[in-house]
Structure 1
């Protein structure tokens, strides 16, 4: 999932993280952070969900995350990063965010389910807002369209995608194709059938059937991928 990738890249190794809301998104983030060597405290008001994750997280606590004093007693103020993964209760999500801002957490991520939810969260004090459902829907649309093999869109409209090599790149070195100048994207790696991805350089020759990893503005990446079918 793109959001997990973005969140993971933002933390220094070994940082402690509090994940509030142990639903599908919160648990997926928590598991990824644990694999990367972070200590993770999970907080949820559902006792059954907390018990389910008690042996998997560094700490798992049943608590009301909307109460700033409760969070302070749990030591949340000492965490450099907080992730609010509450999606089913917008009021609880925003009240939790307010409590975290009162504790002056330096890096707060929030899962938003609507654009309005995200806009309010940013005004209250969220440093990062992610829209996992919307981004997953966009990724699936790209895959169904058949132009893109894999797709990750980051903030500010930047994307990285695996695509079928478009005709303008076939049978000549990348330096001669002028991909960046003509299409506004960068070819980062190339994979031939039956081989592993290799770093792409100016002398790399692309042939029909190759897969490319490209990066650039999302609109440019989509346009360039479409040339594989023209």
Structure 2
């Protein structure tokens, strides 16, 4: 039986607490930590393993056993602590070091010091909020590279009953439907004669500018 991944979450702001609680609910072993002892005490009833230590201190990181974790999520808002924690995790050969960065400068420094993955929780949440405001059909989206996205949209009424050939989103908008969720079932690379049904979720890939045109027309 494969051993479940072990996670450590360093920094217990809103994002860190949410990440730790979500991982625990999914059945993973999670060590949650913050430098604020009062904050840690207040979370003792919500998280099974929550401790206080200075993530800038190599000895404290060793005592917490950080080197034994598969993934460390560094979510502190303290820039110095975030960068030091990334460097110390790299020195301890942590396989996956995820840093929640507040700006591009923070992200670049974290990468140089050992981060294997950068996330921007505040920026991503703002983008999702804006996407829902300007595109009511959008359910969610994924950034791939640059301006390329995969957007999950509910089928616009004007497309219901049309097949992929008739809709011809590639020619009109340079968008490609890569999957459709129909009646709870996922259809990957749907056939050209598939006809859109009300309630379908479409997974469409393309440039952000193409989605703007698509949303404007539908």
TM-score (norm 1): 0.79
Q: Counterparts of 1:10-159 in structure 2 under 5 Å? A: 14-87=4-77, 89-156=78-145, 157-159=148-150
Q: CA RMSD in A?
A: 2.6
Unpaired runs of at least 5, structure 2: none
Residue deviations 1:115-151, cap 9 Å, x none? 1111111121111101111111111111111343322
Q: What SS class does the counterpart of residue 87 from structure 2 fall into?
A: helix
Which of structure 1's runs of 4+ aligned residues deviate more than 4 A? none
Structure having the higher helix fraction is 1
Match of 1:186 in 2: 177
Q: CA separation of 1:63/1:211 partners in 2, compared to 1, >3 Å: closer, same or farther? A: same
- C-alpha deviations, 1:130-186, integer Å up to 9, x for none? 11111111111111113433223244343332244274x443222554445663322
> Does structure 1 conserve the Cα–Cα contact (< 8 Å) formed by 2:34 and 2:53?
yes
Number of residue-to-residue matches in the alignment: 211
**Distance of aligned partners of 1:221 and 1:67 in 2 relative to their CA distance in 1, 3 Å threshold:** farther
- Structure 1 residues 217, 105: CA separation in 2 closer, same or farther (over 3 Å shift)? farther
Q: Is the 8 A contact 1:160 1:215 kept in 2?
A: yes
* Residues 138, 151 of structure 2: 8 Å contact kept: no
Contact kept in structure 1, 2:135 and 2:215, CA below 8 Å: no
Structure 1 stretch displaced more, 22-31 or 94-103:
94-103
CA distance in 2, matches of 1:35, 1:222: 35
How far apart are the structure 2 equivalents of 1:13 and 1:31?
20
Q: Which runs of 5+ in 1 are unaligned?
A: 1-11
